[in-house]
Amino acid sequence: MSNEGVIYRVAGPVVTATGISPRMYDVVQVGNEKLMGEVIKIVGDHTIIQVYENTSGVKPGEPVVNTGRPLAVELGPGLLHSVYDGIQRPLKVLNEKMGDFIFRGVTAPGLDREAKWDFKPVVAEGDVVSPGQIIGEVMEGTMLHKIMVPPTMSGKVEKILAGSFTVEETVAVIDGQEVTMMQKWPVRAPRPVAEKYQPTIPLVTGLRVLDTMFPLAKGGAAAIPGGFGTGKTVTQQSLAKWSDAEIVVYIGCGERGNEMTEVLTEFPELTDPKTGNPLMNRTVLIANTSNMPVAAREASVYTGMTIAEYFRDMGYNVALMADSTSRWAEAMREISSRLEEMPGEEGYPAYLAGRLSEFYERACIGRALSGLDGSISVIGAVSPPGGDISEPVSQNTLRIVRVFWALDTKLRERRHFPTINWLTSYTLYDKQLKDWYAQNVDASFPALREWAMQTLQQESELQEIVQLVGSDALSEDKKVTLEVSRLIREVFLQQNAYHPVDMYCPLPRQFKMLTLIKKFSDLADKALLAGATIDKIMAIPAKQRFAKAKFEETIDAELDAVDKEFDEQFKELGA
Amino acid sequence: MAEVSKEYKTVTQIAGPLVFVEKTEPIGYQELVSVRLSDGTMKRGQVLDSSDDVVVVQIFEGTSGIDRDASVKFLGDTMKMPVSKDMLGRVLSGSGQPLDGGPEISPEKKLDINGAAINPWARDSPSDFIQTGISTIDGMNTLVRGQKLPIFSASGLPHNELALQIARQAKVRGSDEDFAVVFIAMGITNEEKHTFMKEFERTGALKNAVVFLNLADDPAVERISTPRLGLTTAEYLAFELGMHVLVIMTDVTNYCEALRQVGAAREEVPGRRGYPGYMYSDLAELYERAGRIKGKKGSVTQIPILSMPGDDITHPIPDLSGYITEGQIVMSRELHRNGIYPPVNVSSSLSRLMGGGTGAGKTREDHKAVSDQLYAAYAEGKDLRGLVAIVGKESLSAKDQKLLDFADIFEDKIVRQAIDEDRSIEETLDIAWDIFHALDLDQLNRIDRKYIEKYFKA
């Protein structure tokens, strides 16, 4: 009686069943077509289910079967390079099984059951292993996939095999229990870690405005809010391409189908700047576009996060992009309103803030059960209605994340890309990361960054004066400040995501560029004191060469040449 | 569903467009319903909520005249659209009934009007340039096959004229593949209907078109199905018959109003400005039906038209649309008042898929650079207009004066064109090179030297 019941009521994606006694969040099969659903509310004998597929034509009286298990993802070799929908159905397999459109009632396992993987054990029979410990390795493409003891298991290794296996075949026996390369883990429960650390290492992205000005720490969380057309997706994709994470999980949550196609065609062709391998080899994509079922959209961020945690447990640095968290929040709102729950702000459920913080709190850097250090950095895009971030999703997100990259419509209109506003964005990791930059880039880096930020702030104050009285009214040294900040904005902060040289800028080069701007600033001040006119300073040829250097193949040599020319040409001006 | 369905006379409650029926057999969600009134009139509806105790039916034509004696028959099937090749040239109502006096459509297939999501894996990137003959679109906001590019307009602006001009002139050059137009009217006035129909007949476009007409005085509930019927037809023509289909939907704002009206009648919790919280997903179900599929010949390209209430681009309707569509063409009241047709405000317009459909081999090698230069110079010129109002034209530098003049020339030569003027992309680019003469050579800072040498003729 407890596992099989019947449908009592159907209203859109929300179905009520009677005759089953499930636990919250158990997965159930609904109707004759066995549509997949999840228990979201229990009222007496009535079980309320959110169904991941379209329910039209489903009738009261049809059967409901409780699987007794919560929504889980399959974790093991075969994850990388995959493209899944929000509930881990592989889109490529669905395409082969049912054609170009996604119809309901079709399932396919997340991991390929046929594929064989070469398993090499790293423990021996008789060893005692703890939960999460690594017992073997598999080469998955170009990545080393470490096979771990499930977090709920431990004991003596009674048997361990080596050779070629599918994900369902037993590779070890631990304490009488058979272990396969595949684990299942419920998506809504965070995977355990041994210890969480304070984040102190930046996630290096190759984007100057992020790495130098507003860095995100590995294991931290950042939000990118912006109206439509400000470049959220381009920024997210740049991060997915160039950040120095070993694994990237990209969640297209309720976004455009054609945009996912762009990612799908572009990623296999791009190479990872660190390893030279195709980017797709380190990437897991989750694509639940805006017209795919809303309940699966709600689940997609958890599916992605669980996969990210699995790779963190192997000791990898993982970057997770969610584009867009607003669509996830809207999915929650839609389901909540079908449940006739009392709404909070703007119709969003009262638990919106709680869900958002639970999600972002799964970002962390720490020691996994395997004993290795790993991290998950989360970058969430937010799509505020009308570009106005006073709305609930933006506000609740900003209360949790410590990095805010503000995208600006005005900058887009001026064709300044990336459109990250340098005055309103912030990072709270700057103090924690200071030492890393001082040790790994240059001792003077933190001070240089500080100087650049102050110069930009001064510019915004000067601009107010200029708009009132014109630039002629400024003193000569203020004119130099304006020119220096123009260099910071146009040469340093602007970066062309599509230019083969400019799209990725390593940290030492970022430092060099900013040092040169500082040098120009110092020398210009000296030249002024020595009596040079502002027109002469503005006209020095090395400045032009500097502005163009970032697009040259030989950029580093160019920058060195500019360095020399600054010395020579300012000498002529008396500095 | 072979079983003969029974008629029920168990209506217990009637509220707004909803009828509550009790003691039925199990009824499927979204099943179609026919209701016979005591005077013999028939009405149709759809199941919104089905349970053992009560079934909630939404009546398409409104509930006036329905009483508790009405008899309700469940038809055992969800809403399907009969489709066939013979639909080309037909004019249908908002619920798919023939309006042109022709015969019923003899279906080759009956398709679920809600369609299904295209598997992102199966999609092909849109990259075939569609020449609309309109410079502001072709040159600066290029449309490609499989794209959804809405026109953001407002009341009193000539968006219908522009849509008709696009429908008339749109072509992929160097191809004579099958081409069709699906025209979906949602809540347009009778007068607007006449404009459209007259134009279709005048140009002979009707023979390659399927027209769906839901007029302003047709029921709001029907308006919610109309675009779904049209898009189901479009998908059939594109992906089963291999045609390239251009879908014009007007006016999405009326559609959203209907959505709000029906939502309110169902006593749903409203989202922003009273529109339902699921409006994003609902609009996505329409817009996302544009696209191309790997290995299939046809394509669905959408040009939805929506009027921004109060000219406000942050209103939920344009805002949610902008988040789903691949760009937007924004109409400007200011240009319209200055007598410029088509009044396209290029600064706030955008085509996200332009990169894939332009350049050497598709349009012309200099296309991207010319477009960037036009954008940049026009933006600077427009900024200067504000400044001139304060300090006067005399106080501008010679270069700034040129930019100021450029903005006017741009609006006159590039933006302005006649309603029957069909410019090729080469003509558009040549006009651009021509008006660049209003600037100094060093002001052409977005264009590579090699293009300047080749195209900038004295």
Position B1 scores a pLDDT of: 41
Residues of chain B with Cβ-Cβ distance to A9 below 8 Å are 49-52
Partners of A249 in the β-ladder = A284, A320
Domain-embedded: residue A436: no
Q: How confident is the model at residue B4 (pLDDT cuts 50, 70, 90)?
A: low
Any idea what the CATH number is for the domain that residue A287 is in? 3.40.50.300
Domain-embedded: residue A186: no
Task: Please answer whether residues B319 and B273 qualify as being in contact, where contact means their C-beta atoms are separated by less than 8 angstroms.
Answer: no
The residue of B32, B113, B121, B288 whose CB has the most chain A CBs within 10 angstroms, and thus the best one to mutate to test that interface, is B121
- Give yes or no: residues A282 and A312 share one domain: yes
Number of domains in chain A: 4
Domain-embedded: residue A460: yes
**Among the residues of B52-170, which ranges form H helices?**
135-138, 159-169
Task: Please answer whether residues A213 and A422 qualify as being in contact, where contact means their C-beta atoms are separated by less than 8 angstroms.
Answer: yes
- Give yes or no: residues A201 and A335 share one domain: yes
For residue A426 the two structure tokens come to: 């912030």
- Give yes or no: residues A146 and A202 share one domain: no
Domain end point (choices A407, A428, A449): A428
Domain end point (choices A154, A181, A208): A181
Domain-embedded: residue A344: yes
Any idea what the CATH number is for the domain that residue A512 is in? 1.10.1140.10
Report CB contact under 8 Å: B323, A258.
Answer: no
The residue of A256, A269, A339, A352 whose CB has the most chain B CBs within 10 angstroms, and thus the best one to mutate to test that interface, is A256
Position A2 scores a pLDDT of: 66
Any idea what the CATH number is for the domain that residue A32 is in? 2.40.30.20
Condensed to tens digits (0 to 9), the pLDDT of residues B138-152 reads 999 999 999 999 999
Instruction: State the average pLDDT over residues A141-151.
Output: 94
Condensed to tens digits (0 to 9), the pLDDT of residues B392-431 reads 788 778 888 999 999 999 999 999 999 999 999 999 999 9
Position B267 scores a pLDDT of: 78
A564 CB neighbour count, 10 Å cutoff: 10
Residue type, B420: D
Residues of chain A with Cβ-Cβ distance to B52 below 8 Å are 8-9, 60-61
Dihedral (Cα; A104, A107, A110, A112), 10-degree rounding: -130
Condensed to tens digits (0 to 9), the pLDDT of residues B260-315 reads 988 888 777 787 888 988 888 899 999 999 999 999 999 999 999 999 999 999 89
Above 80 in pLDDT, residue B31?
Answer: yes
Judge whether A268 is closer than 8 Å to chain B, CB to CB. Answer: no
* % of chain B beyond a pLDDT of 90: 63
Judge whether A164 is closer than 8 Å to chain B, CB to CB. Answer: no
Task: Please answer whether residues B351 and B344 qualify as being in contact, where contact means their C-beta atoms are separated by less than 8 angstroms.
Answer: no
- Give yes or no: residues A121 and A234 share one domain: no
A391 CB neighbour count, 10 Å cutoff: 21
Position B2 scores a pLDDT of: 41
Running DSSP on this structure, what letter comes out for residue A116? -
Position B178 scores a pLDDT of: 84
Above 90 in pLDDT, residue B252?
Answer: yes
- Give yes or no: residues A58 and A127 share one domain: no
- Give yes or no: residues A335 and A421 share one domain: yes
Judge whether A527 is closer than 8 Å to chain B, CB to CB. Answer: no
Using N-to-C axis directions, what is the helix angle for B279-287 and B252-265, rounded to 10°?
A: 140
Coil, strand or helix: which one is B300? strand
Above 80 in pLDDT, residue B65?
Answer: yes
Alpha carbons A361 and B120: distance in angstroms, whole number: 30
Residue of B nearest to A32 (CA): B28
Number of H helices, E strands in chain A: 16, 27
Residues of chain B with Cβ-Cβ distance to A384 below 8 Å are none
- Cβ neighbours of residue B392 closer than 8 Å, sequence gap 6 or more: none
- Give yes or no: residues A390 and A445 share one domain: no
Above 50 in pLDDT, residue A90?
Answer: yes
Judge whether A388 is closer than 8 Å to chain B, CB to CB. Answer: yes
Q: How confident is the model at residue B77 (pLDDT cuts 50, 70, 90)?
A: confident
Q: How far, CA to CA in Å, does A158 sit from each of A125, A147, A286?
A: 6, 17, 38
Report CB contact under 8 Å: B291, A258.
Answer: yes
Distance from CA of B320 to the nearest CA of A (A): 7
Above 70 in pLDDT, residue A47?
Answer: yes
Among A61, A100, A386, beta carbon nearest to B119: A100
At residue A150's C-alpha, the angle toward residues A146 and A153, to 5°, is: 135
Distance from CA of B290 to the nearest CA of A (A): 9
Find the distance separating the first CA and the last CA of chain B, reported in whole Å: 75
* % of chain B beyond a pLDDT of 70: 99
Rounded (to 5) percent helix, strand, coil in chain B: 40, 25, 35
Distance from CA of A57 to the nearest CA of B (A): 4
- Give yes or no: residues A420 and A474 share one domain: no
Above 90 in pLDDT, residue A226?
Answer: no
Distance from CA of B75 to the nearest CA of A (A): 11
Domain-embedded: residue A512: yes
Partners of A101 in the β-ladder = B118
Domain-embedded: residue A187: no
Question: Between residues 403 and 442 of chain A, which touch chain B (CB distance below 8 Å)?
Answer: 413-415
Domain-embedded: residue A405: yes
Above 90 in pLDDT, residue A487?
Answer: yes
Residues of chain B with Cβ-Cβ distance to A260 below 8 Å are 120, 123
* % of chain A beyond a pLDDT of 90: 70
- Give yes or no: residues A416 and A445 share one domain: no
Query: Could you tell me the pTM of the whole model?
Result: 0.90
Judge whether A362 is closer than 8 Å to chain B, CB to CB. Answer: no
Q: C-alpha A29: how far from its chain's center?
A: 32
Alpha carbons B332 and B158: distance in angstroms, whole number: 10
Judge whether A337 is closer than 8 Å to chain B, CB to CB. Answer: yes
Above 60 in pLDDT, residue B3?
Answer: no
Q: How far, CA to CA in Å, does A403 sit from each of A65, A108, A360, A398, A425?
A: 44, 38, 12, 8, 8
Distance from CA of B199 to the nearest CA of A (A): 33
- Give yes or no: residues A248 and A325 share one domain: yes
Partners of A205 in the β-ladder = none
Instruction: State the average pLDDT over residues B158-179.
Output: 88
- Cβ neighbours of residue B42 closer than 8 Å, sequence gap 6 or more: B34, B35, B36
Report CB contact under 8 Å: A289, B288.
Answer: yes
Report CB contact under 8 Å: A10, B78.
Answer: no
Kindly state the helix (H) or strand (E) to which residue A319 belongs, with its residue range.
Answer: strand A317-323
Condensed to tens digits (0 to 9), the pLDDT of residues A364-388 reads 999 999 999 999 999 999 998 878 8
| A343: preceding bond cis by omega (within 30 degrees) | no
Partners of B250 in the β-ladder = B185, B305
Instruction: State the average pLDDT over residues A169-198.
Output: 95
Task: Please answer whether residues B82 and B100 qualify as being in contact, where contact means their C-beta atoms are separated by less than 8 angstroms.
Answer: no
- Cβ neighbours of residue A455 closer than 8 Å, sequence gap 6 or more: A481, A484, A485, A488, A521
Using N-to-C axis directions, what is the helix angle for A294-313 and A352-360, rounded to 10°?
A: 30
Residues of chain A with Cβ-Cβ distance to B28 below 8 Å are 10, 56-59
Report CB contact under 8 Å: B125, A95.
Answer: no
Report CB contact under 8 Å: A60, B52.
Answer: yes
Alpha carbons A423 and A477: distance in angstroms, whole number: 22
Kindly state the helix (H) or strand (E) to which residue A47 belongs, with its residue range.
Answer: strand A46-51
Q: How confident is the model at residue A1 (pLDDT cuts 50, 70, 90)?
A: very low
The residue of A85, A230, A291, A393 whose CB has the most chain B CBs within 10 angstroms, and thus the best one to mutate to test that interface, is A291
Specify the range with the lowest mean pLDDT, choosing from A338-342, A355-359, A412-416: A412-416
Range of the domain at A489: 441-572
Residue of A nearest to B146 (CA): A258
- Give yes or no: residues A25 and A122 share one domain: no
- Give yes or no: residues A89 and A158 share one domain: no
Q: How far, CA to CA in Å, does A559 sit from each of A241, A444, A511, A526, A538?
A: 25, 19, 11, 21, 19
Any idea what the CATH number is for the domain that residue A141 is in? 2.40.50.100
Report CB contact under 8 Å: A83, B120.
Answer: yes
Alpha carbons B18 and B21: distance in angstroms, whole number: 10
Q: What is the ipTM of this complex?
A: 0.84
Among B28, B288, B350, beta carbon nearest to A257: B288
Judge whether A241 is closer than 8 Å to chain B, CB to CB. Answer: no
For residue B208 the two structure tokens come to: 């390659």
Rounded (to 5) percent helix, strand, coil in chain A: 35, 25, 35
Residue of A nearest to B52 (CA): A8
Alpha carbons B81 and B98: distance in angstroms, whole number: 13
Partners of A179 in the β-ladder = A172
Condensed to tens digits (0 to 9), the pLDDT of residues B313-371 reads 989 999 999 989 999 999 999 999 999 999 999 988 999 899 888 988 899 999 988 99
Instruction: State the average pLDDT over residues A204-224.
Output: 96
Instruction: State the average pLDDT over residues A483-496.
Output: 92
Domain-embedded: residue A109: no
Position B458 scores a pLDDT of: 66
